[in-house]
Amino acid sequence: MKYDFTTIIDRKGKDAMALDAVGSQKGHVKKPTFPKEGFSIIPMWVADMNFATAPSVMDALNKRIAHPLFGYFYPSDDYYEAIMYWQKTRNNIHDLKKEYIGYENGVLGCLASVIHAFTKPGDKILFHSPTYVGFSTVLNDTDRVAELSPLVKDEEGVWRMDYRDMDKRIKNNNIRLAVLCSPHNPYGRVWEKEELEQYVKEHHLEKNIQFAGFRSDVHEILQCADCFVLSSFREGLSVALMEAMTEGLPVVCSRIRGNVDLIEEGVGGYLMAPGEESEYRIAFTKLYEMKKNEPQKFEKMGQANQCKIKEFSKENVDEIMKKVYQV
Q: Which residues contact 8 (CB under 8 A, 6 or more apart)?
A: 50
Q: Is 37 helix (H, G, I), strand (E, B) or coil?
A: coil
**Beta-ladder partners of 251:** 228, 269
Helices 295-309/239-246 angle, 10° precision: 120
**Beta-ladder partners of 178:** 126
CA separation for the pair 81, 75 (Å, rounded): 11
Q: Is 272 helix (H, G, I), strand (E, B) or coil?
A: strand
Q: Which residues contact 37 (CB under 8 A, 6 or more apart)?
A: none
Q: pLDDT tens digits for the chain (327 residues)? A: 677 888 888 888 888 888 887 777 655 445 667 778 888 777 777 777 788 888 888 999 999 999 999 998 888 899 999 999 998 898 788 888 888 888 877 888 889 888 988 899 999 999 999 998 889 889 999 999 999 999 999 999 999 999 889 989 999 999 989 898 888 988 888 888 888 888 788 777 787 777 777 777 888 889 889 999 998 888 888 889 999 999 999 999 999 989 999 999 999 999 998 878 888 889 999 999 999 999 999 999 999 999 999 999 888 888 888 888 775
> What DSSP designation does 189 have?
P
| 203 CB-contact burial (10 Å; exposed 0-12 / middle 13-18 / buried 19+) | middle
Tell me the pTM: 0.55
Under 8 Å between Cβ of 133 and 30: no
pLDDT at 30: 57
Residue-wise pLDDT for 152-170, tens only, equals 999 999 999 998 899 899 9
Q: What is the 3-state secondary structure (H, E, C) of 139-159?
A: HHHHCCEEEEEECEECCCCCE
CA separation for the pair 269, 125 (Å, rounded): 30
CA separation for the pair 152, 22 (Å, rounded): 31
Q: How far is CA 103 from the centre of its chain?
A: 10
- Within 10 angstroms of residue 12's Cβ, the number of other Cβ atoms is 8
